[in-house]
Amino acid sequence: MVAVEYDLVILGETWAGYEAARCAAEWGSRVALVQNGETGDRAQQRAIGIRAATHRVTQAQALNPFQADVSSTPALNWSAVQQWADLTATTLGDRALETCLAEGVDVIADRAQFRPGRSLGVETSARSLTTRCVLLATEASPAPPEIPGFEHIPHHSPASLLALEALPPSAIVLGHTPAAVEISQTLALWGVAVTLVTAAPRLLPTEPAIASDWITAQLMADGVAVWTGTVPSAVTAMGDGVQIAVGDRTLEAAQLVLATTPRPKLDDLNLAAVGLDESAPRLHTNRYLQTHNPRVYGCGAVLGGYGFSAIARHEARVATENALFWPRRPIRYEAVPYHMGTLPPYARVGLSPAQARHRYPTSVQVYALPWHTVAAAHWQGTPTGFGQWIIRQDGKVLGAQLLGPGADDLCQALAWMMATRCSLRAIAAHPSLPDSLADVLHQVAWAWQRDRWQPGHWRRDWAENWFNWRRSRPAHPSKKR
């Protein structure tokens, strides 16, 4: 008789849940994925599709100076974009589900919660599952702000707003998160009058200040009114919209969008049955992604944060390996890239300058490179942006923050370089394509090399002594044959 039915049960049909299920199945384990009433992040995929279509047409409109007939500027049809995004998100979601089924994953279209008792297990409405370990990979939703009257005001999440048949003429977005930035810019590019309000002193407070300042300036250039350090005192519904009191002013809009820091959905899991705190705002884990119950693991949105898919998938792989074998692989984030769907895109990997200087007080160099120095950015018509590179004196890349065309792909290449311990010395010695966006890597490598050969450094002193000695020697004429 089998003591347990599954090696691993995953709760949550999310990107992290799919990643964990595929990894577990590939390693030959028996795994069940309980959907828990979720949609496999199709709403996020749909929002990505709408942003991608918006960005493509916006970039095409930037080429107006080269068009003989300005009236031929491409335009977007909201209904057509929605249909295309729906079809794409459904196709991607179905493919992920079909892949799990083909790998032998038991996908259970039901909700589950922990079962009380000595043996670890979960219960659905139709069956009880016994398992060796459980991985929590459920969704998160924006946390409601503490504003008097807010609980009585209808509002939208970024995903639900983009599902409307028609966009509103105006909107107020609450939050300082990447989701708040993305939805604000997307709506503004569609001609919606957007006001972004946050109590934080700046947008994206977890990112370096230079990134926050650039993104804020880009939002304002796109027509978004940005109110930082502003605490709404009250919110009320009016006939066809909403009013928010901010100091001695009142902001009005047709729709209210909540894009605050996500809060994990942990209320209906019966965490108390496995000794976990149901009232905690997020799941607390150790470096092996184990909770206080060592047989219960967590990944993705349940750990808090902004819910970047790249980070969630990395956590899912680490947690799955530790749960199926033994907890020996600690989670590391140093070389995990992530990006935001802004225009131009913002991407980051590794340490910020402040984090790097705290870890290496005397051996960190920061290189800032404006995107207009990259030839390919001009050819693409988008030379706006910057690159900030954090380099150790020995050439090791510690981190980078990039805002500009191709920033997401370039950040991925940097992550691979960091994971393989490739230094700037190797990049500087290798030829590059001068008309590609990746040439920015070569520029940073040469800047690092130039600093190493500045007067006063031992390399420069040695080279000057060498040349002085060689010039002091008579030049012998070549021997005649």
Question: Over the stretch 306-335, which tens digit does the pLDDT of each residue have?
Answer: 889 899 999 999 999 999 999 999 999 989
Which tokens in the block code for residue 295? 């047989």
- Residues 104, 24: Cα–Cα separation, whole Å: 10
Q: What is the pLDDT of residue 75?
A: 64
Average of per-residue pLDDT values in the chain: 88
Q: Is the pLDDT of residue 40 over 70?
A: no
- Residues 135, 22: Cα–Cα separation, whole Å: 13
Angle at alpha carbon of residue 300, lines to 271 and 335, rounded to 5°: 140
Cβ atoms of residues 180 and 317 within 8 Å: no
Give the rounded percent of residues in the chain with a pLDDT score beyond 90: 49
Query: For domain 338-452, which CATH number applies: 3.30.450.20, 3.30.390.30, 3.40.630.10, 1.20.1050.10?
Result: 3.30.390.30
Span 104-129, mean pLDDT?
90
Q: Is the pLDDT of residue 444 over 60?
A: yes
Span 4-30, mean pLDDT?
93
Asked if the domains 150-260 and 338-452 are classified in one and the same CATH topology, the answer is no
Residue 54: pLDDT band with limits 50, 70, 90? confident
Say which DSSP state 479 is in: P
Question: Over the stretch 329-347, which tens digit does the pLDDT of each residue have?
Answer: 999 998 999 999 998 899 9
CATH architecture group of domain 6-142+263-324: 3-Layer(bba) Sandwich (3.50)
Q: What is the pLDDT of residue 1?
A: 46
Span 10-14, mean pLDDT?
91
Residue 4: pLDDT band with limits 50, 70, 90? confident
Span 340-359, mean pLDDT?
92
- Residues 77, 475: Cα–Cα separation, whole Å: 75
Span 1-12, mean pLDDT?
85
Contacts of 57 (CB under 8 A, 6+ apart): 74, 75, 76
CA-only gyration radius of the chain, Å: 26
Span 421-439, mean pLDDT?
83
Contacts of 416 (CB under 8 A, 6+ apart): none
Say which DSSP state 374 is in: -
Q: At what angle do helices 209-221 and 178-189 cross, to 10 degrees?
A: 20
Q: Enumerate the domain spans of the chain.
A: 6-142+263-324, 150-260, 338-452
Q: What is the pLDDT of residue 30?
A: 95
For residue 392, give the nearest of 420, 421, 372 by alpha carbon: 421
Q: What is the pLDDT of residue 58?
A: 75
Q: What is the pLDDT of residue 112?
A: 92
Q: Is the pLDDT of residue 292 over 50?
A: yes
Range in 182-191, 208-217, 424-433 the model is least confident about:
424-433
Tell me which residue has tokens 């808090």. 304
Give the rounded percent of residues in the chain with a pLDDT score beyond 70: 94
Q: What is the pLDDT of residue 477?
A: 64
Q: How many residues does the chain have?
A: 481
150-260, what's its fold? FAD/NAD(P)-binding domain (3.50.50)
For residue 138, give the nearest of 306, 302, 329, 324 by alpha carbon: 302
Q: What is the pLDDT of residue 39?
A: 67
Which tokens in the block code for residue 36? 């828990």
